[in-house]
Amino acid sequence: MSQEKYDLIVIGSGPAGYSAATRAIDFKKSVCIIEANHLGGAGIMNGALTSKTMWELSKDFNIASSVNRGYRASGLFADYKQVQKTIIQAAKQKQLQMLSQIETFSESTDTHGSMCLKYGWANFVDSHTIEIDKNGTKERITGDNIIIATGARPRKMPDIEIDQERIIDSDGIMNLKEFPERMIIIGSGIIGCEYATIFSNYNQTEVHLLDRQHKVIPYEDDDVSDFVSKGLEKNGVIIHHTANLRTIRKRSDCLEVVLDYQDGHSKVIEVDVAVVAVGRIPNLDNLGLENVNIKTTERGYLDINEACAIDNFKSCNIFAAGDVSGHAQLYSVGELQGRFIVEALYGNLEFPLDYSNMSTLMFFKPAVAAVGLNEKACKSQNIPYKVATYSNSLINRAIAMRASDGFVKIIVSDDGENRILGMRAAGPQASTLITSIAYQISQKGTLKDIRKNVHPHPSISEGVQECLRVFEGKSIYKPQAFPDFIKLESWKPDSKVEKSLKVKK
């Protein structure tokens, strides 16, 4: 049986797979993308794009329904079916863009390679051969190199059956027919807190959030976690701290949720919908990895080297990118890895992969952005640091926007070099603020390097400027006058407690 042959086979069309494919045609290579479900993977459907579209729509509705800005909208109403329709339109728009590009490059020319899309389930036959199963019809193709970019799916909970109707995960959000009157979200990580924000923004759902620990977003510093908690509670979310889910009982008219608290007491609440948001696991089932002697790590991921190859780069032709690789499950990480693999194969790499400046955006109310190390990470690595925090309450643009809830927090090394280590930002345009600091981290920038920048007025980015000035005692507004809004502290491995720094006059 004749088999189509390609320079590169990409399994999965999410951000990692699609970016790899589009980079490969720049090198005049023939590429086949294999997709089992939706084009774009979780980067488009049931993930990044759809959830952020939901957040944007809910944010607009929440602002429009506010009554503290000198205006009041009457007759404001959100129809969940229409909201759903808008979300699907956004996803379809991006999928059509992706398809348009695939069709544009369907044939090779003197200036570019070619790419095609095949739907079905991929299975390794050997290290160069993939069998594609589409509803029982099987086809085999071969490739010089293969990239596994199959993404991740929601993690399940023991003894909790996901029916995608009343007990759902992030894949089932779009199955809802209306705003639930009552909802519990199990899991207080980024996904759980984002959906708590979205549904509470519409003010049509009583939202409960189950937090097994004392803090939501527990891997972040306490000040960030507390800020997110207060924002959720201010938005009407009921947070159940230090609570474990014992069981969910299905009743004809509701779900009975039994919670066990750390102090020994229990509580039963009634909800209409339960959303399980306890993380994601890699999609590596039924790929035939055993046929090519590929084993997963203890955590279930693929073990890759610095070139994203599963074995020695010089002898292996199988690579992995995105959520299956064991690195941070971020769109930007997958996209970076996919492109990097292709450049390692066909081009000249100018620099190695660097995960230190991968930014994270958290779509809460208000939004939170993070890059680099936080205080917890510095302490765990015994890195001496200084940290400055500057509130949006002092930034003219934030005041004008009536959106002064938020802050900029920057961490630098306290070793005489003043290297930029990390940043957390909350409030309007947080995602934009984080970019300049991410660049400084990747360039190993210092306070001296960045303090020359002058930010325009009025802009939210002036918060970054003033936060940096705090380190040298040169901020326009002083910590002595605004101790609740401006803070400067330091920590060293031999110190038992954090100490506030005296600011130079």
Q: What is the pLDDT along the chain (505 residues), one digit of tens a residue?
A: 568 999 999 999 999 999 999 999 999 999 999 999 999 998 898 889 999 999 999 999 999 998 888 888 888 899 999 999 999 999 999 999 999 999 999 999 999 999 999 999 999 999 999 999 999 999 999 999 999 999 999 999 998 999 999 999 999 999 999 999 999 999 999 999 999 999 999 999 999 999 998 899 999 999 999 999 999 999 999 999 999 999 999 999 999 999 999 999 999 999 999 999 999 999 999 999 999 999 999 999 999 998 899 976 666 899 999 999 999 999 999 999 999 999 999 998 877 888 878 899 999 999 999 999 999 999 999 999 999 999 999 999 999 999 999 999 999 999 999 999 999 999 999 999 998 899 888 888 888 888 777 888 999 999 999 999 999 999 999 999 999 999 999 999 986 555 666 554 4
Residue ranges of E strands in 13-120: 30-35, 114-119
Determine which helix (DSSP H) or strand (DSSP E) holds 478, and give its type and residue range. Answer: none
Domain that residue 88 falls in: 4-153+281-346
Are residues 8 and 141 both part of a single domain?
Answer: yes
Same domain, yes or no: 304 and 332: yes
Nearest to 353 by CA among 304, 404, 302: 304
**pLDDT score at 46:** 83
358 in any annotated domain: no
Does residue 475 share a domain with residue 442? yes
Nearest to 211 by CA among 235, 238, 187: 187
Omega of the bond leading into 366 within 30 degrees of 0 (cis): yes
Let me know whether 26 and 111 are in one domain: yes
Classify residue 496: in a domain, yes or no.
yes
**Are residues 440 and 487 part of one domain?**
yes
SS3 at position 419: strand
Total of domains in the chain: 3
pLDDT given at position 314: 63
Q: Tell me, yes or no, whether 10 and 62 share the same domain.
A: yes
CATH number of domain containing 340:
3.50.50.60
Q: How far is CA 66 from CA 59, 199, 236, 284, in A?
A: 11, 16, 14, 46
Helix axes 80-104, 48-64, angle to 10 degrees: 140
DSSP string of 171-200?
GGGGG--S--SEEEEE--SHHHHHHHHHHH
The answer to whether residue 309 sits within a structural domain is yes
For residues 322 and 312, give the distance between their C-alpha atoms in angstroms, rounded to a whole number: 19
Domain boundary among 227, 262, 278: 278
Is 161 inside any structural domain? no
Q: What is the CATH number of the domain that holds 454?
A: 3.30.390.30
**Residue 301: inside a domain:** yes
Q: Are residues 271 and 292 both part of a single domain?
A: no
Rg (CA), the chain: 25
Using alpha carbons, list the distances in angstroms from residue 304 to 39, 148, 189, 345, 346.
25, 11, 26, 15, 19
What's the confidence (pLDDT) of residue 505? 40
Q: What angle do CA 43, 44, 46 make, to 5 degrees?
A: 90
33 and 178 assigned to the same domain: no
Domain final residue, candidates 221, 254, 278: 278
73/214 same-domain check: no
Q: Is the same domain home to 197 and 252? A: yes
Pairing of strands 318-320, 137-148: parallel
Element (H, E) at 92: helix 80-104
Q: Give the residue carrying structure tokens 């944010």.
A: 59
In a domain, 197, yes or no: yes
Residue 351 lies in a domain: no
pLDDT value, residue 487: 97
Same domain, 185 and 122: no
Domain-embedded: residue 354: no
- Please indicate, yes or no, whether residues 83 and 206 belong to a single structural domain of this protein: no
